[in-house]
């Protein structure tokens, strides 16, 4: 088996570590190249876009990839749609590793929105001190908000952010509940904006907001056509790989 893992997440990293230890399996992890010094998993690693669905299909053929595992972030809708189209055209089996979304606890004060644009519109209405955890790609949507102070946390801090009034801190998850409680208190945060990423690594901020009674603008996941098999854990992917190995070529 020669497996391509579309990565950029903690599960993709964990999966590569497990598959690298399995005999008779070659793996290539693919990263988008957004992070300056990414954590590199075991096995071969390639970086950068493929050039759309056609480019990915070409890569699958040229590299003789036998199976594709899409372990990208739940909000990575573009590459996920490309993975579906490319595997259909190249005739390669595809598995989606998609961690379950977080569900609201009775004490949570979530305001669910469809996308980051809707979150920005709500933020503009509320104003105040906001912990903005949407990732660098969507910050532009918050650029014209003048009545809010934003706390932003990123792995790589850019020279400039498109925000009117902000404080940027550099950090890489996972984050503990104690750290998140301290951060929210220190910066006098009154509102959290988050993506419904799911998983444990970034859940502490949601729990901290609940403990402090803070409202959370929760951006729900983009819809990607569910036209392929999906599982929620690295263990379930390993089961799928074992199943695929048992099948005749
Ligand atoms: P996206 O919007 O779905 O992808 C945009 C383009 O980036 C894709 O069309 C593809 O370019 C390239 N790309 C994305 N992931 C790639 C990968 N693993 N390997 C090679 N090329 C990739 O993705 P995104 O939301 O910008 O996320 C980019 C990466 O960051 C993903 O790997 C994702 O797992 C990770 N990430 C995203 C988030 C988030 O909130 N979106 C959070 C944490 C981590 P081509 O069309 O040229 O192939």
Q: What is the pLDDT of residue 228?
A: 66
For 114-120, the CB contacts below 8 A with 24+ separation are 114/219, 114/220, 115/219, 115/222, 116/141, 116/219, 117/141, 118/219, 119/193, 119/217, 119/219, 120/145
- Is the pLDDT at 226 greater than 80? The verdict is no
Please tell me the predicted confidence (pLDDT) of residue 224: 74
Question: What is the DSSP pairing of strand 166-170 with strand 148-154?
Answer: parallel
Tens of pLDDT, residues 131-181: 999 988 899 999 999 999 999 999 999 889 999 999 999 999 899 999 999
Q: Tell me how far the alpha carbon of residue 31 lies from the centroid of ligand 1, in angstroms.
A: 8
* Closest by Cα among 210, 189, 221, 219 to 105: 210
Full-model pTM: 0.94
Chain position carrying tokens 């996972």: 174
Distance from Cα 185 to the centre of ligand 1, integer Å: 33
When pLDDT is averaged across residues 75-104 and rounded to a whole number, the result is: 96
| Ligand 1: nearest atom to the Cα of 7 | 18
DSSP SS3 for 107:
coil
Residues 39, 197: Cα–Cα separation, whole Å: 19
211 alpha carbon – ligand 1 mean position (Å) = 33
pLDDT at 249: 63
Q: How confident is the model at residue 70 (pLDDT cuts 50, 70, 90)?
A: very high
**What's the pLDDT score for residue 146?**
97
* SS3 category, 216: strand
**pLDDT score for 227:** 60
CA distance 202 to 153: 12
Ligand 1 near 78 CB (within 6 A): yes
How large a percentage of the chain has pLDDT more than 70?
A: 98
Distance 154 CA to ligand 1 centre (A): 16
Q: Which atom of ligand 1 is nearest to the CA of 50?
A: 48
Whether the CB of 195 sits within 6 Å of ligand 1: yes
Residue of 73, 136, 225 with the most ligand 1 atoms within 8 Å of its CB, for mutation = 73
The two three-digit tokens of residue 29, written as one number: 């992890």
Question: Which numbered atom of ligand 1 lies nearest the CA of 35?
Answer: 30
Interval 28-55 mean pLDDT: 96
- Over residues 109-120, mean pLDDT: 97
What does the pLDDT read at residue 153? 96
Q: What are the tens digits of pLDDT across the range 172-205?
A: 989 999 999 999 999 999 999 999 999 999 999 9
Crossing angle between the packed helical segments 177-186 and 204-211, to the nearest 10 degrees: 60
**Cα atoms in the 13 Å half-sphere on the side-chain side of 27:** 25
């Amino acid at each position: 088996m020669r497996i391509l893992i579309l990565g950029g997440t903690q599960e993709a990293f964990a999966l590569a570590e497990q598959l690298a230890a399995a005999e008779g399996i070659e793996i290539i992890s693919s990263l988008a190249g957004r992070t300056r010094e990414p954590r590199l998993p075991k096995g071969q690693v390639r970086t950068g876009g493929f050039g759309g669905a056609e480019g990915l299909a070409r890569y699958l053929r040229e590299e003789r990839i036998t199976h594709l595992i899409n372990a990208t972030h739940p909000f990575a809708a573009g590459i996920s749609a490309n993975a579906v189209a490319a595997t259909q055209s190249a005739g390669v089996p595809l598995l989606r590793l998609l961690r379950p979304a977080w569900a609201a606890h009775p004490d949570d004060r979530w305001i669910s929105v469809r996308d980051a644009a809707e979150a920005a519109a709500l933020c503009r209405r509320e104003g105040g001190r906001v912990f903005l955890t949407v990732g660098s790609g969507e910050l532009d949507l918050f650029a014209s908000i003048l009545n809010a102070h934003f706390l932003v946390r990123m792995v790589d801090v850019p020279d400039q952010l498109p925000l009117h009034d902000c404080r940027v801190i550099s950090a890489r998850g996972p984050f503990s509940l104690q750290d998140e409680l301290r951060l929210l208190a220190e910066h006098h945060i009154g509102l959290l904006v988050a993506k419904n990423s799911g998983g444990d690594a970034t859940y502490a901020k949601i729990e901290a907001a609940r403990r402090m009674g803070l409202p959370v603008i929760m951006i729900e996941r983009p819809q990607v056509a569910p036209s392929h098999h999906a599982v929620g854990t690295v263990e379930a992917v390993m089961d799928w790989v074992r199943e695929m190995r048992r099948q005749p070529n």
